[in-house]
Amino acid sequence: MSRLNPRQQEALLYISGPLLVLAGAGSGKTSVITRKIAYLIEKCGYEARHVAALTFTNKAAREMKERVGALLQGGNAKGLTVSTFHNLGMNIIRREHKALGFKPGFSIFDDQDTRALLKDLLLHNDEDADQVDAVAGQISNWKNEMIEPEQALQYAQGPFDILAARAYEAYQTSLRAYNAVDFDDLIWIPAKLFEQQPEVLQRWQNRIRYLLVDEYQDTNLSQYKLVRQLVGHRGMLTVVGDDDQSIYAWRGARPENLEQLQKDFPSLKVVKLEQNYRSTQRILKAANTLIANNPHVFDKSLWSEMAFGDELKVIHNRNEEAECERIATDILDRHLRGGIAFKDFAILYRGNHQARLLELKLQGFQVPYKLSGGTSFFSRAEIKDLMGYLKVLVNPDDDNAFLRIINMPRREIGPTTLQKLGEYANERDVSMFRAIDELGLETRLPGQAVERLRRFSSWMNRLSEQCERHDPVQFIREMIMDIDYEGWIRQNTASDAAADRRIQNVWTLVDSIKNTLERLQEDDPEAGIKEAISRLLLIDMMDRQEEEDDSNRVQLMTLHASKGLEFPHVYLMGMEEELLPHRNSIEDGNIEEERRLAYVGITRARQTLIMTLASTRKQYGEKIDCAPSRFLDELPPEDLIVEGLGETNEKVNRARGQATLNSLRSLFD
């Protein structure tokens, strides 16, 4: 506690009512949250099981839980909830499944599952399946705004809205039939439940008596409502947020939720954390000057006790190729001559497409890098196949998973058989898997087809029973051997090396299931394979781009992905109109969010910041002229060094390039 500054101390000690901690970038908010949790348990008489902390990523939740565990002695942390919003929602649905009308072991649809189902529904109704992404996005927005299908239909205007509303209605009906929920449902369903059944809400209010929420500016309407419901009239709430770092409006985040707090909780206390422990004062001055152009409900200004620091650089380049080459050579130069580790550099950009040429240039100069946004482990075909088996194992009503696995490996069950099975299942209002064992199916399908289906069904049922009675992980291993999945992979993979990698992925998944089950049983001895698989699926959905890598590589990522991170040396590329700010945001008049995005980029830098832009870019094969970003004009000119705008600078640039090459040559002398 002694290491906390006065404002942090104030935020820690205030527990008599609702509190908003307005925490600027790099102001030590995680320390405040973790210490406050420990303070509530050790000094204020709260039992750990009555305290909950919510955040948005698994990584943040893990870090918070580890730090709290280190602060609390003995078993004082037992029962403490530190999780994502969606994990809490999943637990609420799991515990209240009877009240919600769900069977145990409900499925969670990821984005791919959602789009596959919506595509089938659109095609079934002779609609344009090319619009599936737009329809999925609209349904997600409606759920975040807590709009029911019938309300969407009622207020739909124009052909697309009508199409999306009808798809929404059919989609929800299908999810119910499959005993499934999607990602947005994990928040929306508990919020609806609490609204409709006050006695259930009271039970959860008694369970969670003090609530802390991180990154509050990123909450959408349904998340805000869930928080407000859980807190109730007691007001035992601490939220931490920064309206200047609200950059997720496109996925429903509402920075105005910070302002709404004052209306819902008139006694709200506001504590501002303005001391920054990350960046030089010059970087903070630039960030403050930029963001001052946005309107604010709560004014704040970041400051630091660190040195004033180096000037910020703005480097103009002829085109995007020159921009990428300049960044690559600059990093190599600073690495060779300055001894800066590659991992201390980060290159940030507005869109993923900007990374393609950059990768080529980094490869050309042999600069190692890590590109954020690679293929998720759970998105790999072999993993989705096996997870399909496991989904049906724990939830036989999951038709999506059933259709994926029924002919993998081949069981000579053709599309006509599956179509007739599906029609029969719909008529009977049961899942396709359950329909297999109904006597009536024999009137619809040839005897041989029924026999093949029932052979599969009885095998899965036997496996399910064994998983319930014995060690489930052992029987999952036996299942993999039973279907000769390794042989299937080798037959359907181009090379032995690639097949080996895929097989290794399979056994990595089995180990993950085993470890997840063991961790769950530490908190809940009754937890079984169903809970372990649900937890794995949710972790993947939340955590696809959170792979930790400590190797010595330059970090490449979008500005959105960089939020919450920091790096000694940052390159912010593409500082041009229609890139940052993005063209869509200019057309929509949403410059404020783009300015917040630039602010996030600037405040990632600890020591140095270099901004780059191009005079021309290729677009659809044509060269177009680019204008410098308006945000450059909003930075303090006295703190900028501008390069690349004249002959003198060209000479400087050539000299710099030659020096880099000389440094390279010296390595081999």
Hey, which residues are catalytic here? 29-30, 214-215, 245, 604
Q: Please give the Cα distance from 302 to 375 (Å, whole number).
A: 37
**Cα-flanking dihedrals φ and ψ of residue 346, to 5°?**
-135, 140
Q: Please give the Cα distance from 575 to 323 (Å, whole number).
A: 11
Looking at 151-281, which runs of residues are DSSP E strands? 180-182, 210-213, 237-241, 269-273
Q: Please give the Cα distance from 641 to 632 (Å, whole number).
A: 12
Nearest to 596 by CA among 316, 271, 218: 218
Q: Please give the Cα distance from 615 to 650 (Å, whole number).
A: 14
Q: Please give the Cα distance from 620 to 184 (Å, whole number).
A: 36
Bridge partner residues of 555 (DSSP): 346, 370
Query: Which residues touch 89 (CB under 8 Å, ≥6 apart)?
Result: 185, 186, 187, 189, 190, 226
Q: Reduced to 3 states, what is the DSSP secondary structure of residue 306?
A: coil
List the alpha helices (DSSP H) in 406-495.
Answer: 415-428, 432-435, 447-469, 472-482, 485-491
DSSP assignment, residue 442? G
Phi-psi sector, 215: left (phi>0), alpha (psi -120 to 50), beta: left
Are 270 and 296 spatial neighbours (Cβ–Cβ below 8 Å)? no
User: Does the N-terminal peptide bond of residue 368 adopt cis geometry, omega within 30 degrees of 0?
Assistant: no
363 token code pair: 């490869």
Q: Please give the Cα distance from 149 to 142 (Å, whole number).
A: 8
User: Does the N-terminal peptide bond of residue 581 adopt cis geometry, omega within 30 degrees of 0?
Assistant: yes
Are 168 and 152 spatial neighbours (Cβ–Cβ below 8 Å)? yes
Residue type, 335: H
Q: Reduced to 3 states, what is the DSSP secondary structure of residue 625?
A: strand
Which H or E element spans position 571? strand 567-572
Q: Is the dihedral of CA 450, 451, 456, 459 positive or negative?
A: positive
Residue type, 17: G
Bridge partner residues of 307 (DSSP): none
**Cα-flanking dihedrals φ and ψ of residue 15, to 5°?**
-135, 10
Which H or E element spans position 305? none
- SS3 string of 44-104? CCCCHHHEEEEECCHHHHHHHHHHHHHHCCCCCCCCCEEEEHHHHHHHHHHHCHHHHCCCC
Burial class (CB in 10 A: 0-12, 13-18, 19+), 663: middle
User: Does the N-terminal peptide bond of residue 472 adopt cis geometry, omega within 30 degrees of 0?
Assistant: no
